[in-house]
Amino acid sequence: MKTIAVDVDDTLNDFSETLRTTTFAHSAAYNITPETFDKYVEMLRSGHDQPNDLLSTEYSYFCYKIHCECYKLATARPDAIEFMQWLRANEWRVVIVTYRDLRRSNELTRKWLHDNEIPFDYLFMTLNKLEFCKAWKIGYLVDDHLVNLVQSNEPGGPQVFYPVMSKHKTGVIYRGKGFENFNELKQWIQN
């Protein structure tokens, strides 16, 4: 049985666009002032990392809460849904790999996949998707992350494909193969 690993955010859905365009409302549940809330939203949208060395901070908790909202609201790509269903119909083993903290968002992620009729066999959180694929002998990875595109196609590693986005148009040479529509992948992985 052939196996493929597929990312969720900005691959199967429009997470970054959702984060950028959603109007988030301040509430007492955030336990921060409206001014701090607005500041944190701006920091998160601009890609600001945690402002200090602590693993758990007010800001990291805020990021988690906003990300969970985006996980729920992000729209699945219709071509991605069709592709994932095609994989299932053609007896592929589908492994969802994500950077999401599944200790806290496992149920939410599974619900989103189910609600969008995206079939999968396994769901894993992994910070190094290339090494994960090597260890599990997964031959294909579909992911948008720049590091995976630059370091892809190493001996023993997966062949990497990515949905072309504006962040990929940087002049950096990627070893992964870009696509505009998931249907393009079908011909590349059938060989």
pLDDT in tens, 40-72: 999 999 987 765 666 678 898 899 999 999 999
Examine the pLDDT at 173 and tell me if it is beyond 90: no
Mean local confidence (pLDDT), 162-182: 78
CATH superfamily of 3-14+75-189: HAD superfamily/HAD-like (3.40.50.1000)
pLDDT in tens, 128-161: 999 999 999 999 999 988 777 667 667 777 988 9
Residue 146: which of 16, 21, 40 has the closest Cα? Answer: 16
Give the pLDDT score at 171: 64
Query: How much of the chain is helix, strand and coil, in % rounded to 5?
Result: 45, 15, 40
Ranges of each domain in the chain: 3-14+75-189, 15-73
